[in-house]
Structure 1
Amino acid sequence: MSQSNTASRPATNLPLTIDDVRAAQTRIAGAVVHTPTMHSITLSQICGAEIWLKFENLQFTAAYKERGALNALLQLTDEQRARGVIAASAGNHSQGLSYHGTRLGVPVTIVMPRTTPTVKVMQTESVGGNVVLEGETFDEAYAHARKLEKELGLTFVHPFDDPNVAAGAGTVALEMFADAPDLDCIVVPIGGGGLISGMSTVAKSLDPPLDVVGVQAALYPSMYDRIKGADLPCGGDTLAEGIAVKAPGEFTSQVIAEQVDDILLVDEAQLERAVSLLLQIEKTVVEGAGAAGLAAVLAHPERFEGRKIGLVLCGGNIDTRLLANVLLRDLARSGRLARLRITLQDRPGALFKVMREFDAHNVNIIEIYHQRIFTTLPAKGLITDIECEARDRHQLEALVAALKGKGYAVSQVELD
């Protein structure tokens, strides 16, 4: 594929062009990491498509957001630089803006809700940001940031609804297509829409233009609703907090309506599986939002079969405890971890007999929980929950069948 002659293409009224993205690439060159784009043999086999990964989780602040923040900072006037910038963000934008603002000598103020986890406050302060905690929600923090913008004469840098920020994000695509020139499709996470606005601008400038597919968490289908005229509920506790946006951008909505071919939704289990696969197969840590593209390809195999697909791993900032939970839940869904609930008689040797079945099937016991009081069983009965580890689902099913064959009442405690 090649860059098309832009003079021969239909004119567009969009406030973002391929030239804007190219200019951003020149502007930020050397100050952000040119992250690798690599072919994944194993994920390609799993997905039934050729999968190329752009590792934006390898940026200094572990997210692509540095690109747009830096591009915006470099276009400030001397007076704006001296006064400083402000943003409302509890995520990757706050770190990217703080890091590059500090590096350039531009004071950066970040307004976060009081409910923001302490680790995110500390991460932003560690790269030079001045954090102001205000409000209980993001909307309240945003309103306070706009108030301070006017009172202090600061320049507001929006996390996504800004052509300069989107142009910087689009440099991800310029690098990806240079390193993997045979792609015919990109699958890009959508929160407010800045990343896909920039990347689609590049993708649609190619000859032939690429298929551009956006992905949102099913709990936050805000852009999906706007573009498709749907009215799905928006809210909830999603793993993909980086794209959990209730109000999509106005400018980005225009770009997406014209340049994005489709928007897909992925549920929480699909996001968890994608995060787990990327760690197990690619040995790379990716946050929920960063795994959304892979989640969509896995969830819609017929849509992507045989395609040459570029996926951007847009961020890697995930809490370690949350990551551990995701990995363990994925093992449970795959049948390698299980909790078996077994009804026993409360008599000597009853548990020992059950243990012999686990030993015979080479299934490892991790934890045992007895319940004698809070049960509807007779007083001489008890419920035992046994957490165990198997080689695979087949080995676990063989154990359950053997226990039932010996007359035990056995059920598996399922994940939602």
Structure 2
Amino acid sequence: MPLNRAYYAIKIAAIAKQLRHAGLINHTLNLPIIYLPGILGSQLYDRQKKTLIWGDYRSLIRQNHYQYTDSAAHIGVQQLHSFSVIPGLIENLITAPLKQLLEKALGYRDGIDLFFLAYDWRADHRHLAAQLDAKIHQVKQRYGEQQKILLIAHSSSNCAIRYYLQQSATQKNRDSIAKWYAFGPPWVGTFQSLALIQSGYYPAGKLFHGFSADDIASCPSAYQLLPSSPQVIDKKGNLVEEFDIYDEECWKSFSLGPYRSPTANISASTEHLREELANNLMNAKAFSQCVSVRHAAEQSVSQTWFLSDNHQTVKCAVYDQGQLFLNAKAIQKHYPNLVEQALTKGDDHLPIDGLLKGWEHPILCETETPPLGENYVFINQARTHRGLVGHIPNLRTLAFDIATLNQKAC
């Protein structure tokens, strides 16, 4: 057993013991859970080519066609609980600790009362909203129309849930959600998304394969995660007023995305990305306008948000000598005089600034006792954005909260 799995087994056994001691182990039916992963959280399989697009070490050592095309019929999806690096020896745990917690400490059963909603995370998040509606309908068919459901989501999929609750969910379906647990919800977007569109994403470094900048730029979801009201400053700290992230002309002027390279040197694929850019930006703007603020339809659902403030992350990009600086380390290195203006607390992707606008319930830190079963924000020290779901204080709080709701539902 890899050491990280052994570590979680010990910690989760301790949480289970604490639940028993508190009298919170439910021996009757649990409230069904639907879990929605974030970006990179689902395995993608090309049915036509019979190859894995994303999901383990093979997707890093073999060249894949990562660019997104809207062809859902050809793409198979499956929840990615762990990412195998060296089979049987080294693996990156994704939702495996959460799954283990729900099964071992709370008695959930995958496919019975625990449902992982895998999806093509490159696609427009509005597709995921429709899939969530279908999954809720499926759960109700199994358990009855009056059944209450719990939602757990990581990162970007929380935006799909908010969109769903605001735009398409019936009041009956809203009322059926007993609680929604949001890990790292990027309500107002993040400069990290623009950084990936500019530079690509190589999980194991550029010695291995990964997502090129054009691969990322082909994904509608990447545009929907752009900062909704971005501020860009120059090296003197003055606001660059002409920066409008939803205007294609801005992308041309600042050499962003498919306009990184001069027109004379572009490939057919880059030309296609340019043709799609205006539409992607228009859809992203409409999506952002929905999810960047709270509305009554969404506030009617009880919620807990898990946010980390363990890093300095970018709230304001720096533009100098024809280049946008979108990374906290680069800003700290090259523009130490702008750190206070450009950086703020958050996780390694997501600044907390702006996330809590309109929130009227308790905001707690790890050392405080949360009002279990109620609305609250849990500010924690998770090491990374991805690690929010596996951070032990978060798992403990989640377990106690779910156990409390299960007990009330008996």
The structure, 1 or 2, with the larger RCO (C-alpha pairs under 8 Å, 6+ apart) is 2
Larger radius of gyration: 1
TM-score range, shorter chain: under 0.3
Q: TM-score of the superposition, structure 2-length normalised?
A: 0.28
State the TM-score, normalized to the length of structure 1.
0.27
Q: Return the structure number with greater helix share.
A: 1
